[in-house]
Structure 1
Amino acid sequence: MTTSKSAPQEQPVTAELCDWVTSLQASDIPTHVLQRAKHLILDGIACGLVGAHVPWSEKCIDAIDDYEPAGYCSVLDSNKKYGPLAAAILNGAFIQAVELDDYHSAAPLHSASVILPALFAAAEVQSHGSQKQPRRVVSGLELLTAAIVGFETGPRAGAAMYGAELLSRGWHSGPIFGCPAAAVAAAKLLNIDSAATESAIGIACTQAGGLMAAQYEGMIKRVQHAFAARNGLFGALLARNGYLGIRKVFERPYGGFLAMFSQGNGREPPYQPEEVIAGLGRVWQTTHIRVKLHACVGGCHGQVEALERLQETYPDRFALENLQQIQSMRVALSEPVFAHDGWVPAERPLTATGAQMNAAYIGAAQLVYGQVLLEQFDAAALDDDRVWELIRKTTCVRDEEFDRPNHLCGARVVVEFADGVTVEETVVMPRGFDPPITDEEIREKWRRLARTVGDNARMQRLEEAVLSLEDLEDVSDLFALIRG
């Protein structure tokens, strides 16, 4: 890999993206993309409703409530309302709170936790009105179209920086790619023109950041995608009233978004501005957003499924009472997943955040509990002797086989037993990648999660409202159901 000697030539990709955003109509979007987007919204709401009630989310709303005045923007499963930016932070933190939300496996970000908080707040800004901006009712179809704009933009911004490469270098990629995604989504819903949308993107991108060291301890990792939601919303709200942002923020070689976050990556060229607009209107990234079936980092889903297969193939050897016979376990991962999740735990117990980002813990939990869901990250599981015995026997390594495009979340697991027998399993692409999780499976996931947080009648009405968004005349009806 060689170091670049010169940046790519400027291409007017920012303006072209903004022209596409402002001109896009719902009728331009294929029916299957509209349908998938509704299910992604449903999944994001489900994750947020569950995530609103975990301890770190309750701590977040308690802290914000202590200083933030009441406002008019809704918060998931809460009777409290705040200003637009605070509401976006809380809703994003809730959707990302339990690691069950969506992910894009090629350009890693969690789209719902970035897009939905920005849109929910922007819609209520519109319906509330102000001295300078008249009140306007927002329809479900407008919300759906704006969501797709955001779903399409985030992965493209990520691809322009080689997707998971940022993650390999220790950046939390989603809060970075998510800033322009939230900006264009909010700008679309606020109905601002192409020039103002470009300002919104520039304002959002100059706020971008996110340190992946947040995964080891603390609570702030849960909020970092929400930063992107807030940054994009803030950019769109400023631009709506004529505040000028950075122009050409994607293509500028000095101080531009792609140029700065690509520094030191050793690539040639260091970034690819053309990826920002590649396939717009033809290739729909919305359909490439993955829905999680395991409550952990998406990069380890291949590892979980390799262990599931081994448990099914060798039920006696992997019976709970025989796990002490495991001598060693070797987990081969792609470069970004190894850098992100292949670290050796230094403290016991891990925090819930750290455990959900640690391949050794995730694999051990699968073997002990037969699943990786929310209960595998409660206090008892995090300090389970059986889990920690297996963690100490686990070694994670990087394998270039999984560095190939679309293989980043794959894994190979090799288990050696005390009697010398070795078994192994490889998962090239985890479930939900190819083919993707079906809409029916997303609805099933929604119903499983919804049963844990609200009365059945409300959850049924909420599901119906989301899945018929194109027929909803006023999204205020949706927000009333979200609040509960």
Structure 2
Amino acid sequence: MSIESQLAEYVASLQYKDIDEATRIFFGRMLLDTAAVSIAGFREPSCRPVATALCAWDQEGPASVVGSEQRVSPPAAAFANGVYAHWCEWDDSHDPSHVHASAVIYPALLAAFEASDQSAMTSGGEEFVAATIAAFDAACRVGRLLKPYTHRGWMPTGTGGAVGAAAGAARILGLDASGIQSAMGIAAAGSGLSRQALADLVNAKNILAGVAAKIGVESALLARAGVSGAPHFITGDYGLQGLYANGQGDAEEILDGLGREFSINEVSVKPYPCCRSAHPALDIVFELLRDEPRVANDVDSVRFEVPRGVYERVGRPFEAGDNPRMAALFSVPYSVAIALTNGLVAPKDFDPESVRAVSSEVADLIGRIAVEAVPVPNEAADPIIPTRAVFTLSGGGEMELTATTVKGAPDHPMTPDEEASKLATAVGDSLPSEDINGLMAAARGVPERGLVEFLDHVRRPKPDGSSQFMGFCRS
């Protein structure tokens, strides 16, 4: 049996009873975190018309969109909710593969659920959990296979993410292993996603999770309709391994520990609303602020030494340019200067108006923060650590700190209080406190309660705390 067939069989057959309790709990945390960052995206005025652009001609369907009572087609909903989830760069990341898994998988599988025969059921939660866990495995394992050999210009979210979303959505739609394999093959044919939008610092980068989610659910729907996807979509001559990894790597690794070691447990929750590659530098700053506050107030300049991939994404000298929001989201100098000055970084710090209006003191500090690319072990895998910081103090002397792990990673998790604070900040005044509590209970209770209650809460946020968003307009 081929690797692709074995992966499809696994996705089709994983049962809720085979998933340990810790993984089940983490599923609920990831679902809640994705809902939170999606609401944060929904609250951004610049995001709403982009996320719902495909809904304007598509106002009849079964699927829900964050913040609206209107229903749309599953592909339009998957796109909209994927864009919302990824807009603020606050969604989780599978660091070993760089796949933004939740922002693709949850939107695709929720849309597939509402298009399925289960949509009116208050049960079905256990099936959704199992399909989601299997989808994470497909996405992250495929992404991890390709990552060390793939040109950095490709977004792993577009390969592993799209394939995993297709796999999970196909299972939700009731397809057997053969149909799931076809769905993954169709998604692989449409995979990719160039990072050029990031290099050019334009907001097309922020829609890429939505694009991958849309590919995933469309591929599952096409497979259900009878389209046969390429069965050797990974290992074939023109499969993902050949196209994105030049045939390198051992595809058998995708199957190692499958069903015993769940990839969702390798996902990192983001504490800061900016590119994950900037997080080690921010961790160092917050460690300094916590342990040496007097030293932090005496910083004259900072030099960071980072892996090359980190430098390429977030290390260049900061210029607000024509897209200040994007420039700030992907800048160590900007985010570190804000952290040193304010003691935190928040979504509002990356609003275009806030970026343009930084004080002269902050602007001067940004100019005194330098980032240098240095060789690191296993550089081909594009790691984001280690990161070393050298703080030069205004009174003379230096202090060095190094990050060898990253806050939010499995070996350095956020605390429950930190996760609660993130939820409150992300949701803001878009939901009253009783609805926030209801959203938390619904996300954590999916196995027992199903998805109907959770989806009801997802539709409730309001952009200004007073009126429902009805923005599916043709411009």
TM-score (norm 2): 0.89
Aligned residue number for residue 31 of structure 2: 41
By how many angstroms is 1:371 displaced? 1.3
Equivalent residue in structure 2 for 1:78, among 61, 68, 71: 68
Contact 1:259 1:271 in 2 (8 A): no
SS in 2 for 1:80: strand
Equivalent residue in structure 1 for 2:145, among 139, 149, 160: 160
Aligned residue number for residue 436 of structure 1: 413
Which stretch has the larger CA shift, 219-228 or 347-356? 347-356
The 1:482/1:17 distance shift into structure 2, 3 A limit, reads same
Aligned residue number for residue 449 of structure 2: 472
Unaligned regions of 5+ residues in structure 1, if any? Answer: 1-10, 130-134, 264-268
SS in 2 for 1:67: coil
Aligned residue number for residue 481 of structure 1: 457
Instruction: String of CA shifts for 1:80-127, please: whole Å, max 9, x gaps.
Output: 221111111000000111122111111112211101111111011014
By how many angstroms is 1:445 displaced? 3.2
Equivalent residue in structure 2 for 1:219, among 203, 207, 215: 203
C-alpha separation between the residues in 1 aligned to 2:433 and 2:225?
Answer: 42
The 1:223/1:138 distance shift into structure 2, 3 A limit, reads farther
By how many angstroms is 1:344 displaced? 2.8
Aligned residue number for residue 288 of structure 1: 266
Aligned residue number for residue 459 of structure 1: 436
Aligned residue number for residue 191 of structure 2: 208
Is 1:386 equivalent to 2:361 in the alignment? yes
Aligned residue number for residue 425 of structure 1: 401
Equivalent residue in structure 1 for 2:309, among 312, 333, 336: 336
AA at the equivalent of 2:74: P
Aligned residue number for residue 223 of structure 2: 239
Contact 2:323 2:352 in 1 (8 A): no
By how many angstroms is 1:144 displaced? 1.4
Structural RMSD (CA):
2.4
Instruction: String of CA shifts for 1:146-200, please: whole Å, max 9, x gaps.
Output: 111122222111111135x54x622222222201110111012112111111110
Is 1:149 equivalent to 2:139 in the alignment? no
AA at the equivalent of 2:308: E
TM-score (norm 1): 0.87
SS in 2 for 1:102: coil
C-alpha separation between the residues in 1 aligned to 2:453 and 2:292?
Answer: 51
C-alpha separation between the residues in 2 aligned to 1:301 and 1:402?
Answer: 19
Contact 1:115 1:151 in 2 (8 A): yes
Equivalent residue in structure 2 for 1:26, among 13, 16, 26: 16
SS in 2 for 1:55: coil
AA at the equivalent of 2:404: V
Instruction: String of CA shifts for 1:409-437, please: whole Å, max 9, x gaps.
Output: 44111122455422221111022321433
By how many angstroms is 1:237 displaced? 0.8
C-alpha separation between the residues in 2 aligned to 1:257 and 1:243?
Answer: 19
Equivalent residue in structure 2 for 1:271, among 249, 253, 259: 249
The 1:228/1:138 distance shift into structure 2, 3 A limit, reads farther
SS in 2 for 1:442: helix
C-alpha separation between the residues in 2 aligned to 1:211 and 1:406?
Answer: 16
C-alpha separation between the residues in 1 aligned to 2:16 and 2:290?
Answer: 45
AA at the equivalent of 1:55: P
C-alpha separation between the residues in 1 aligned to 2:67 and 2:309?
Answer: 35
By how many angstroms is 1:465 displaced? 1.4
By how many angstroms is 1:293 displaced? 0.9
The aligned runs of 1:5-404 (5 Å cut-off) are 12-61=2-51, 63-127=53-117, 139-162=124-147, 166=150, 169-215=152-198, 216-252=200-236, 254-263=237-246, 270-319=248-297, 326=300, 328-348=301-321, 350-383=323-356, 384=358, 385-401=360-376, 403=378
Q: How many residues end up aligned between the 2 structures?
A: 455
By how many angstroms is 1:241 displaced? 2.1
Contact 2:27 2:264 in 1 (8 A): yes
By how many angstroms is 1:136 displaced? 7.2
AA at the equivalent of 1:388: A
Contact 1:402 1:410 in 2 (8 A): no
C-alpha separation between the residues in 2 aligned to 1:465 and 1:137?
Answer: 12
C-alpha separation between the residues in 1 aligned to 2:177 and 2:195?
Answer: 33
AA at the equivalent of 2:406: P
Instruction: String of CA shifts for 1:42-78, please: whole Å, max 9, x gaps.
Output: 1101111121120231221453344334322100122
SS in 2 for 1:126: coil
Which stretch has the larger CA shift, 350-359 or 99-108? 350-359
C-alpha separation between the residues in 1 aligned to 2:361 and 2:457?
Answer: 42
Contact 1:369 1:376 in 2 (8 A): no
SS in 2 for 1:255: coil
